Amino acid sequence: MSRINLNRNYLITDGGLCMFVSHFHSILLRDQADLLEFGITEDKIAELKELGDEFERFSTDDFYAGDVMTATEEKNEKEAVLKNTMLKMGRRVALKWGEKSSKYERFGMKGINRFSYAQFLSSARAAISFLNEMKSELAETGLTQEMIDEFELQCNDFENAKNKQAELNELRINKTAERISKGNALFKIVSNYCRIGKTLYGKTDPAKYNDYLIYRKKRRKKDKAEGDLNEAISEGEE
C-alpha cells in the first residue's frame, strides 16, 4: 500500500488557508499599484484567487474516508457470509470422515479465525476444489453442485469487495497527497506575497503590514491593554 511522503508546509488548517486566500485577494487588489513594482501583476492576483478556489473545491479526506468505510463494511459482510458457508461445508466433511481425518485436514478449516485475507481466500479456493473433487462422496451429506457454485460465487464476491476496498484506500492516499501538494503550492505563493507586503509596509503603514501576516501570536493581557500590534510568527513565513 502506498504511503504519503509529503508534509504540509503550513500551520493553519486547509480551511484557514482558503479563508485567508479569499480575504487576501481583496488586499492584493487594494494594493496592486504598490505591488506591481515587485512583479505582482493583476493577472497574478487573479491566478492566486483561481488557485485558492480550486483548492477549496478539492474534496477533503472525509469524502474519501467515507467511501473507504463503506467499502470496508461491504468487504466485512462478504467475508462473514463466506466464512459461514465454509464452516457449513466443513461440517459436511466432518460428518463424512471425521474432524481428525486427513480429508478434513485437506479441507483447510484449521485456524480459520486467525487467517489473514490472503490465507482465507486461498483456503476458500482450495475448499471449493476439494468439494468438486469429492462431491459424489459428499452427496449423502446433502451437498449439491448448486451449493458449490454458490460457495464459489461468494468467494468471488469477497475477493472483489476486498479489491474495491484496497483501490479506494489507495485513491484516498493519492488524493490526500495531491491535496497536500496543492496546499503547499498555494501557501508558497501566499507566503511570498506576504513577504513582499511586509517589506513594503513594515515601516510605513502598520495597518497594511498587519494584513500581510499569516500567523499571529495570541497577545498577553498586558499586550492587549497597551494596544500592541500582533506580531507574526516567523516560522512558515520566512
DSSP states of the chain: ----------SS-HHHHHHHHHHHHHHHHHTHHHHGGGT--HHHHHHHHHHHHHHHHSPPHHHHHHHHHHHHHHHHHHHHHHHHHHHHHHHHHHHHH-TTSHHHHHHT-TTGGG--HHHHHHHHHHHHHHHHHHHHHHGGGT--HHHHHHHHHHHHHHHHHHHHHHHHHHHHHHHHHHHHHHHHHHHHHHHHHHHHHHHHHTTT-HHHHHHT-S--PPPPHHHHHHTPPPPPPSTTT-
Tell me if 231 is assigned to some domain: no
Q: Are residues 39 and 132 in the same domain?
A: no
Q: Are residues 75 and 148 in the same domain?
A: yes
Q: Are residues 187 and 124 in the same domain?
A: no
Instruction: Give me the mean pLDDT over the 69-73 stretch.
Output: 97
Contact 165, 68 (CB under 8 A): yes
Q: Are residues 111 and 183 in the same domain?
A: no
Tell me if 232 is assigned to some domain: no
Which pTM does this prediction carry? 0.76
Q: Are residues 190 and 124 in the same domain?
A: no
What is d(CA 97, CA 76) in angstroms, rounded to the nearest whole number? 31
pLDDT class of 217 with cuts at 50, 70, 90: low
Note the pLDDT tens digit of each residue in 150-206.
999 999 999 999 999 999 999 999 999 999 999 999 999 999 999 999 999 999 999
Instruction: Give me the mean pLDDT over the 27-54 stretch.
Output: 96
Tell me if 236 is assigned to some domain: no
pLDDT (0 to 100) of residue 225: 38
Tell me if 6 is assigned to some domain: no
Q: Are residues 140 and 183 in the same domain?
A: no
Q: Are residues 143 and 97 in the same domain?
A: yes
pLDDT greater at residue 89 or residue 229 = 89
Contact 14, 60 (CB under 8 A): yes
Total structural domains within the chain? 2
pLDDT (0 to 100) of residue 218: 52
Q: Are residues 115 and 70 in the same domain?
A: yes
Tell me if 233 is assigned to some domain: no
Nearest to 199 by CA among 39, 46, 43: 39
Q: Are residues 158 and 107 in the same domain?
A: yes
Q: Indicate if the pLDDT at residue 234 is higher than 70.
A: no
Residue found by looking up cell 500592541 in the block: 228
Q: What domain range includes position 200?
A: 14-61+174-226
Q: Are residues 33 and 116 in the same domain?
A: no
Contact 51, 28 (CB under 8 A): no
Q: Are residues 75 and 158 in the same domain?
A: yes
pLDDT (0 to 100) of residue 193: 97
Show the cell assigned to 9.
Answer: 508546509
Percent of the residues in the chain that have a pLDDT greater than 70, as a whole number: 88
pLDDT (0 to 100) of residue 220: 47
pLDDT (0 to 100) of residue 222: 42
Q: Are residues 160 and 68 in the same domain?
A: yes
End position of a domain, from candidates 169, 186, 214: 169
